[in-house]
Amino acid sequence: MSALGGLDWLVIGLYFFGILVVVIWSSRKQDSSEDYFLAGRNLGWFVIGASLFASNIGSEHIVGLAGSGAKSGMAMAHYELHAWCLLVLGWVLVPFYHNSKVFTMPEFLERRYNSTTRWILSLISLVAYVFTKVSVTVYAGGTVFQSLLPEISVGGLDAFWVGALAVVILTGLYTIFGGLRAVVYTDALQAVVLLIGSLCITVIGLKTLGGWGELRALCGSQHFNMWRPANDPEFPWVGMLIGAPITGLWYWGTDQYIVQRTLAARNLQQARRGTIFGAFLKLTPVFLFIVPGMIAYALSKSGRLQLDNYDQAFPVLVKNLLPVGLRGLVVAGLLAALMSSLSSLFNSCSTLFTIDIYEKLRPGQSEKHLVFVGRVATTIVVVLGVIWIPVMRLVSGALYEYLQSVQAYLAPPITAVFFLGVFSKRINAKGALVGLIVGFAFGMFKLACQIFSGLESFAGSMPTFALALGQMNFLYFCILLFVVSIVLIVGVSLMTAPPPAEKVESLTYSTLSDKVRKEFRSSWNRWDVISTVVILAIILGVYIYFTG
């Protein structure tokens, strides 16, 4: 890509200055663990919703969605239409999280089940964050930086290393000192920059192409169809309709990385409205990231753009369509996407380690000591992310192929444990433990089979069952694992004693006290319902329009 102009650098500089101002303003008063990890439980709906969106959208998300749009059209839009999962978080799960006053999702499992389930989920989450989300985000950030600013070199380090190190260290610093308050307020700013920058690409791209009708004509019906055959090797329609939402409900409803923002709301009403606003924002990637990929494909097909690699769809559009100044804004948007995802990861890892592991091992520590430990934990995660960069560069080709399916192997048992826990008072700790442990083991076994079945030296000697499992579509396996987890959790629970009354009091729908029910009901009004219906109507409309 050509060098950025002076105006582009001015825009990027203003973006970073804005981030600095927000961090300094939001970093005041970090004396207690509640201040540091949950922003004093005083956030409003706007920053919660913006942070939910910005945490979800990483730079690799943008580039990957645009590449997918260029390659296969609207197939990946299913994941973006999981905005309804945010509504499930706000209407179904947040009331229980808010009422229990927990800091983390593992802590909620301890309230509902026992301390062992808390330990298991804490360890699974931390390992998954450090070795998948942190590493992938850091690597993708360096790759994007190298693509957009290849001319940069500092002290012998190329653009990849300069970008990866600079963004990781800068993001780590404001996360370490600012805590969740700095994370969510910078997320709010970054969401605005990201949305404006991406909207420019879509509008200018459509104008260059000649309008929506021209896009549809050049792309053809296949690119505009969200549904693939049931035997499609990547996105079978049954798997996308049933399997993908299982992962979506885990990610949006039970993952600390996302849910922590709602735990920091000043009250239940603000938490729910934050999820509703976040759901509105979650609908935008279909039009701001996937459609630009389709525009790049259409321009390439008509000979007006050279597209050698689908993953370069977004950078190529930036390079060829945007004027100076707007180009800098989009680069700032990509940096915003990377930084918001990283800061959320750093803060979530810090919270999980400090609250769920350190405080359990060393109870009775002062609030200031817990804040200090949280900052140290964040620092360690930042260092691990940096150390992992060269490993990612060596094995990225293999990791990227398999990381897409890792969440489908982690999510089903966790989703089952949370949702069965709030909908049935009969589910007990023994059932939850068996479901988590066996489900996690089965998911990792599938991942191992998948890896080895892809290696010729191993595939020939693998048992038939293991080979078939390894080659099974990850979405179909997600459905299978979810069913197995439910059967185990329900079966073991019914064969053992019911949980004590204190373990289910106000933690399931059938055991809510009259006082809590009244609080739940008073936390919403008709506008919350109307907004929810509008979101669901938009989702349905997108499904209908992009069918056939």
Mind listing the pLDDT tens digit for each residue in 274-312? 999 999 999 998 888 899 999 999 998 888 888 877 777
Closest residue by Cα to residue 442 from 398, 400, 417, 477? 477
Q: Which ranges constitute the DSSP H helices of 424-507? A: 429-453, 456-459, 464-471, 474-495
Q: Which residues, at least 6 apart from 214, have a Cβ–Cβ distance to it below 8 Å?
A: 298
Asked if residue 446 belongs to a domain, the reply is: no
Asked if residue 500 belongs to a domain, the reply is: no
Q: What is the model's pLDDT at position 359?
A: 85
Residues counted in the chain: 548
Region 336-344: mean pLDDT is 76
Residue with the bigger pLDDT between 434 and 323: it is 434
Asked if residue 501 belongs to a domain, the reply is: no
Which tokens is 351 given? 């919270």
Asked if residue 65 belongs to a domain, the reply is: yes
* Number of domains into which the chain is organized: 1
Collapsed DSSP state (helix, strand, coil) of residue 99: helix
132, pLDDT greater than 70? no
The shares of helix, strand and coil residues in the chain, as percent rounded to the nearest 5, are 80, 0, 20
CATH code assigned at 166: 1.20.1730.10
Residue with the bigger pLDDT between 319 and 239: it is 239
Asked if residue 347 belongs to a domain, the reply is: yes
Q: What is the model's pLDDT at position 162?
A: 79
Instruction: Please report, rounded to a whole number, the percentage of residues in the chain having pLDDT higher than 70.
Output: 90
d(CA 338, CA 168): 9
Q: Which residues on adjacent β-strands are paired with residue 43?
A: 265
Q: Which residues, at least 6 apart from 363, have a Cβ–Cβ distance to it below 8 Å?
A: none
493, pLDDT greater than 90? yes
Q: What is the model's pLDDT at position 537?
A: 97
Asked if residue 345 belongs to a domain, the reply is: yes
> Which CA distances in Å does 456 have to 234, 314, 463?
21, 35, 14
Q: What is the model's pLDDT at position 39?
A: 62
Q: What is the model's pLDDT at position 54?
A: 83
d(CA 308, CA 483): 42
Asked if residue 456 belongs to a domain, the reply is: no
In which domain, by residue range, is 142 found? 6-18+43-399
Closest residue by Cα to residue 334 from 140, 194, 152? 194
Asked if residue 54 belongs to a domain, the reply is: yes
Contact 186, 344 (CB under 8 A): no
